[in-house]
Structure 1
C-alpha cells in the first residue's frame, strides 16, 4: 500500500465513522509505514507491539480449527485500538473512542482494501 492508497482508505474510513481519531499502517516487522491523526506517542513501540499482537492472534487462531485472525481490539477507558491485517505484509491500526462498535469497520475494511488494488 502506498501513501495515496493509505490516504484514500483513511478518507473512506473517516466518512464511515467519525469516531476514528487516527490510523497507522504497520509492517509485519513492526515499522510504522504511514500514520494519520492522533495515533501513537511512540511509533517504534506501537509498531512492534501491533505486529506482535497480530502474530500472537494468528498463532492462537491457527489452533482453533484454522480460524484466521480477522481483528484485534485493545480497549481502555477512553480509547480502542483496532488492529486488522491488510494484505500479507501489513496491518492497519485505528484509534477510536472506547465506546465505538468496531464490528462495522472490521467488516468493511477488507473490501475497501481490495477495492484500492
Structure 2
C-alpha cells in the first residue's frame, strides 16, 4: 500500500486521521450530546452515530483525555458510516476519514465517549 501513490498510502491515511483528531486541544467548549451543533473539526461533515453507540459526556471535565486512538476499518467508508449509525452494533468513532480523498466525517461530539471496541 505504501507505493500506491501520495494520497493512498497507509502513512498518508494515518496522518490524516491524526490531524482529524487533533482539534480537540483547540476546542475546549464542545458540548456533550449536542447533535445539531456545528462540527468540532471545521472541515468535517456531520454524520451522527446512533445515540445507542456512544455515551454522552462532558469531557475533559468528566473523563480526562490521555491518548488518541487511530483505528483502520475493514469496511468501505459508506459501510462504516452505516455501522456507526446502526444502534445494534454498539460501536462508533469520533471521526472517520475516507481513504479515497481524505474527506472527514464527524460521528460523535468530542465531549462524548465513542465506543471503539464494541
Higher helix share: 1
Structure 1-normalised TM-score?
0.29
The structure with higher relative contact order (CA 8 Å, sep 6+) is 2
